[in-house]
A = this chain, B = another copy of it.
Amino acid sequence: MNPALNLLLNHRSYRDFTNQPVSDEDLDAIITAAQRAPSSIHAQVSSLIVVRDPAKRAKIAEFAGNQEWVAKAPVFICVVADFAKTQAAVEFAGEKQIIQESLEGFAVGALDAGIVVTTISTAARALGLGTVMIGGIRNNLQGMIDLLGLPPLTFPFIGCCIGHFASEPPLKPRLPVKTFRHDEQWHGVPDKATITAYNTELMDYWKSLGRTDGQSWTENTARRYKVIYNPTTKPVAIKQGFTVEK
């Protein structure tokens, strides 16, 4: 067996944590690994806010739409696009940073946040811990900014809960690989038969967990994507200096 590959092939999101703390040694290793991840133009634009304070975690759980596992897991790491840090670099060089005015800049902040949060999660799971990524912090971006003291030119894209898990969920079914993998050329969207079969598979998964609130792939995606899900992303981005005008 290949332990690292096996870890990735068995990814699941853990939401049931014990009260056992994450050791400082483990947390340090996770953060060292995360910093080793590559970054766009080696700017190292991401910063982490490590939140262990229970009152703060309870607040973040609420911001994220009452995700109680954020309050339960002993560590929450918020991944922030930190163009205040890169601005210090640009000013050191005697220049003026303007990348934050562009969609490219915002996209790089998000991409790099995705790279870092994945590395955090994999490193923690390599240490036998459970993790779950929390995009729900974008439900209340201003709350996160105020709570973590985030200045202009920073943006909290995503977070990750880390802790010892009390139970391990089963693997959640994915769409058939043919809908994900395209060779040489994009080959089209999933056909109706494929969608119907996957919806059934996902509903069977929810039933197996005893969850009556589970939705099919199409119902769940429609519910979020027929509206502007997280409508404050743009106004808060602008307020933080990411005008995305260019």
Cβ of A209 within 8 Å of any chain B Cβ, yes or no, is no
- Is B221 in contact with A246, judged by CB distance below 8 angstroms? no
Kindly name the residue among A10, A35, A171, A231 whose own CB sees the greatest number of chain B CB atoms within 10 A. A35
Cβ of A88 within 8 Å of any chain B Cβ, yes or no, is yes
Cβ of A142 within 8 Å of any chain B Cβ, yes or no, is no
Cβ of A183 within 8 Å of any chain B Cβ, yes or no, is yes
Chain A's interface: helix, strand, loop or mixed, by majority?
helix
Cβ of A118 within 8 Å of any chain B Cβ, yes or no, is yes
B contact residues around A227 at 8 Å (CB) = 98-99
- Is A33 in contact with B8, judged by CB distance below 8 angstroms? yes
Question: Per-residue CB proximity of A42-75 to B under 8 Å, as 1/0?
Answer: 1110111111110010000000000000000000
Categorize the interface residue count of chain A.
Answer: 35 or more
- Is B102 in contact with A228, judged by CB distance below 8 angstroms? yes
| A81 nearest CB across to chain B (Å) | 10
- Is B5 in contact with A88, judged by CB distance below 8 angstroms? no
B contact residues around A230 at 8 Å (CB) = 102, 104
- Is B90 in contact with A218, judged by CB distance below 8 angstroms? yes
Cβ of A13 within 8 Å of any chain B Cβ, yes or no, is yes
Known A-B contacts A93-B221, A184-B53, A189-B85; the reply to A177 vs B111 at CB < 8 A is no
| A218 nearest CB across to chain B (Å) | 4
Interface pairs (7), CB distance under 8 Å: A42-B217, A80-B186, A93-B222, A102-B228, A102-B229, A102-B233, A111-B113
Given known contacts A49-B184, A115-B118, what 19 new A-B pairs fall within 8 Å (CB)?
Answer: A3-B3, A4-B4, A8-B122, A11-B38, A13-B38, A31-B180, A36-B174, A42-B172, A43-B225, A47-B186, A89-B190, A89-B195, A93-B219, A94-B222, A95-B222, A99-B224, A107-B157, A111-B135, A122-B122
